[in-house]
Amino acid sequence: MQIGRPVKKPLKLLQLEALLPRLSLKNEQHVFLSDILRKEQSGYQGELSLNYFFHLIEISESILLYGLRLPAANNAFQLDALLLTPNAHYVIEAKNMKGSITFNQAGQMIRSVDGISETFQNPQLQINEQMLHLKHFLRQHGFPEVPIHPIICFTHPRVILQFNQSYNNIITSEQLPNHIRQLTKQVKQNKYTHAELKKLADFLNSHHTDYRLHLHEKYSLPNHHIRNGVWCTICKKDMMKREKRTWLCPSCGGKDKMAHKQALVEYALLFKESIKNEEARRFLVIQSPSTVKRILTGLKLEYRGENKAREYHLKELVRHERRYF
């Protein structure tokens, strides 16, 4: 199996991880956003945990893509995982939920944990929509039609699935390898060579777009509720101060000459993917324009404009940092 697109932290998750430590506890959205962050982190961990089980399937000519977000008629659709094989494709929706999972007669999914029950949208509806969007996308761009199998995979080790066989595409991680092997046996004729499958994977990757939250507009966050500064890269508990061309943490005494790099990544995630000298001074809490100019030019960032109007582009900085998440 070839990994055509590895698991990466979604941009939305990176934005929330950058925001919450800086957001004032007094902000009325803090509790709500913390809950969203927890759910996003849980979903990401669920996708990570699938890696092991996918590699047990052992379909040699197959390509696995995680986290694709592709254009649709009115918006976009996202796939947690897509397994491409020569004779069929598999759309996998990961659910990292613990507890007992049942479905009532109305089709609602019910999760019970420690005597508390919650209802959720039926994941069948979601994955069927994704499957229809994917079929249309592939047909629209002239790719051969093969069966597309939707699979809902519960990844938490402490989940109990309690429902009848009519939900035979809802499984646990441990069941995933055998489930896909059995489905693969149902279709004998290959529609794709490996080269054609690689071409399809490359095409899908080229049409991926990240979902970027516009945090301030969506959640009405005033700038003064978001703390400026450069987090200590060692203890992560305090803001560092700029002293003699390095950064010094007043709490742990740690030093880091490049601590501003992560701070600028966070600025791009929180606000926008370009920054002027004046904006960088405010966010990094540095008074000297020449010091900030030296910092920004030292990162070899692309820019446009001159003097006070010069804007440095941070997109490549974010892209470079995301390789390590």
CATH of the domain at 282: 1.10.10
Residue 218 lies in a domain: no
For CA atoms 269, 271, 277, 280, give the dihedral sign. negative
> At 320, phi and psi to the nearest 5?
-65, -45
Q: Do 92 and 163 lie in a common domain?
A: yes
* Residue 204 pLDDT exceeds 60: yes
The residue among 280, 42, 86 whose CA lies nearest residue 189 is 86
Q: Do 67 and 168 lie in a common domain?
A: yes
Q: Do 186 and 265 lie in a common domain?
A: no
pLDDT of residue 325: 43
Q: How many domains does the chain have?
A: 2
* Residue 196 pLDDT exceeds 90: yes
Residue 66 lies in a domain: yes
Q: Do 194 and 244 lie in a common domain?
A: no
Residue 167 lies in a domain: yes
**Tens digits of per-residue pLDDT, 12-45?**
999 999 999 999 999 999 999 999 999 999 999 9
pLDDT of residue 308: 86
Tokens standing for residue 11 = 């941009």
**Tens digits of per-residue pLDDT, 293-307?**
999 999 999 999 998
Q: Do 151 and 286 lie in a common domain?
A: no
Residue 62 lies in a domain: yes
Q: Do 127 and 192 lie in a common domain?
A: yes
Q: Do 63 and 197 lie in a common domain?
A: yes
Residue 213 lies in a domain: no
Range of the domain at 273: 228-322
- Among 206, 238, 266, the domain boundary falls at 206
Q: Minimum mean pLDDT among 193-207, 210-224, 268-282: which range?
A: 210-224
**Tens digits of per-residue pLDDT, 89-116?**
999 999 999 999 998 888 889 999 998 9
- Among 173, 206, 239, the domain boundary falls at 206
Element spanning 219, H or E: helix 215-219
CA separation for the pair 76, 143 (Å, rounded): 19
User: What's the pTM value of the predicted model, to 2 decimals?
Assistant: 0.89
pLDDT of residue 103: 86
- Among 206, 236, 264, the domain boundary falls at 206
Scan for tokens 């089980």, then name that residue.
53
Q: Do 264 and 300 lie in a common domain?
A: yes
- Give the number of other Cβ atoms within 10 Å of residue 297's Cβ: 11
* Residue 260 pLDDT exceeds 90: yes
Q: Do 138 and 247 lie in a common domain?
A: no
- Give the number of other Cβ atoms within 10 Å of residue 168's Cβ: 9
Contact 123, 218 (CB under 8 A): no
55 by DSSP, 3-state: which?
A: coil
Residue 267 lies in a domain: yes
Q: Do 153 and 257 lie in a common domain?
A: no
Confidence of residue 324 (pLDDT cuts 50, 70, 90): very low
* Residue 270 pLDDT exceeds 60: yes
Q: Using alpha carbons, list the distances in angstroms from residue 146 to 51, 60, 196.
A: 24, 18, 13
- Mean of the per-residue pLDDT values for the chain? 92
Residue 187 Cα to chain centre, angstroms: 32
Q: Do 295 and 162 lie in a common domain?
A: no
Name, in order, each residue with C-beta under 8 angstroms of 62's C-beta and a sequence gap of 6 or more.
1, 2, 83, 84, 85, 86, 197
Q: Do 78 and 111 lie in a common domain?
A: yes
**Tens digits of per-residue pLDDT, 131-184?**
999 999 999 999 999 999 999 999 999 999 987 667 889 999 999 999 999 998
Element spanning 42, H or E: helix 30-54
Tokens standing for residue 163 = 């429902």
